Amino acid sequence: MLKSVEGNFDNIEVHNLLVKHFIELRSVSPKGSTHVLDIDGLKVSSIKFWSLWEGDTLMGIGAIKFINKVHGEFKSIRVNDKFRNKGYGLVVINHLINEARKLNIKQLSLETGAGKFFQNARELFTKCGFKTCEPFSHYEKDVNSVYMSMLICN
């Protein structure tokens, strides 16, 4: 049974997965093209963060940053290694889309890498209905980034 917990930054498993996420993304993204937020960056009031649990085991994490009242951005989506390549990325994304609906968000956008490392993520986002778009919010054109967006029906 999937359990969702908002916040939960002090949980050691959540903390460790976030740190692993930051280190890995920073290692595969060129300087100046890394847009991953650290834990303090995820704690700001314009961001909602969830950890998802399968029983007592952390399955994944994800966040939505409010760009404005009806436009949100996915941040820090990650699946625990024990759950990778088993369809759980789709579970995390669908959870975030459902949370966005509850928050009356009408559009979701994201930035991900353009390199081979990010290919599976781009394919997953496309499968979920995201389409490539121009840079949004504070982002600028960057050959190392792909921007995607989707409209949400409530």
pLDDT, tens digit (0-9, with 9 covering 90-100), for 62-120: 999 999 999 999 999 999 999 999 999 999 999 999 999 999 999 999 999 999 999 99
Phi and psi for 36 in degrees, rounded to 5?
-70, 140
pLDDT for residue 59 is more than 90: yes
Report strand pairing: 71-79 vs 107-113.
parallel
pLDDT for 152 equals 94
- Other Cβ atoms less than 10 A from the Cβ of 57: the count is 10
